[in-house]
Structure 1
Amino acid sequence: MDLSRAVWRKASRSTVQNDSCVEVAGVPKVVAFRDSKDPGGPKLLISQDEFRDLANALKSL
């Protein structure tokens, strides 16, 4: 999947001093994740349904 035009976002709780975070981009039919320290590195792609389930699971922790 071509992610060259994806708009990546860091978590709102990320700070300038703490560059260790995950970035996320919504692209058609999937949600993509990458390591902010290695933007050219590997990406994890999950379906929008899987992302919703993951977000709900994390909210319940």
Structure 2
Amino acid sequence: MQAALMLRAKSRERRKQRLKRGIKSELPSNVATKPIAPFPRYPPASWCPVTVAPKRRTK
């Protein structure tokens, strides 16, 4: 157990030193690495019925 705590503490120290040097390969989970696409249109166009002009009555 103590060995695991020691290894964890050492890795934390190494991570802090990397960030101080400018090596930021390990980004926190809240940082986006890719652009996020916008949400698609809802409802999709394929769901909507085709709008037809009203028919004229002839007598």
TM-score norm. by structure 1 comes to: 0.20
**Higher percent of residues as helix:** 2
Q: Give the structure with higher Rg (CA).
A: 2
- Could you state the TM-score of these two structures normalised by the residue count of structure 2? 0.20
Using CA pairs below 8 Å that are at least 6 residues apart, which structure has the higher relative contact order?
Answer: 1
Structure 1 or 2: more strand by fraction: 1
